[in-house]
Amino acid sequence: MLKTALFGLSYAANTVAIFANIVGTLVVLALVAVVNYDVFARNVLHAPFMGAVEVVQFSIVLIVFLQLPDVVRVNRLTTSDGFQLVIGKRFPRFTKGLKAAINLLSAVFMGLIAVAMYPQFIEMWRNADYFGVPGVFTAPWWPIKLVILLSAGLCTVIFLLKVLLPRQGTMLVRILPEFRDTRK
């Protein structure tokens, strides 16, 4: 029963991670359009897009945190695994335990980020806090804080599922087989 629930949670978390990655990719495409428009408007129309810098700053944070859960899901997070590779064949159980400990520690850190971000999100939501230059370009802070909060929470869940379901971790999503991790 518990294992079935974990598989269901893993399927949902992996599906949301893939969807967030797609949204992050769309934000990249939108950012490309904004930068190209700014270059065109600046050089041809002599009227630059006011707020281009703010949009780029906003977008970079969105891109990173929208794509982070999928990076964690497919084990593409930058790590130094040389030690694990050296001892992996000689001490496979120790290496499995080390991977589980690293995933658990990663879950703790991502959980701490989510916990720290929650009050900031609430404050930004209530105060309608904005960034940018008033009269030129402004945007609210709360969407960024919400994306960081949700991304950190989803990464926490994915890291915990990697501990609880070490073999199935990234292979549970079958809706988009081309995105599956094919490493063994």
Task: Output the pTM of the full model.
Answer: 0.84
Residue 124 contacts residue 140 (beta carbons within 8 Å): yes
Question: 160 is written with which tokens?
Answer: 């915990």
The residue with greater pLDDT, 62 or 132, is: 62
Over residues 142-161, the pLDDT tens digits come to 999 999 999 999 999 999 99
Alpha carbons 73 and 10: distance in angstroms, whole number: 10
Average pLDDT, the chain: 88
**Among 78, 37, 21, 62, CA closest to 148:** 62
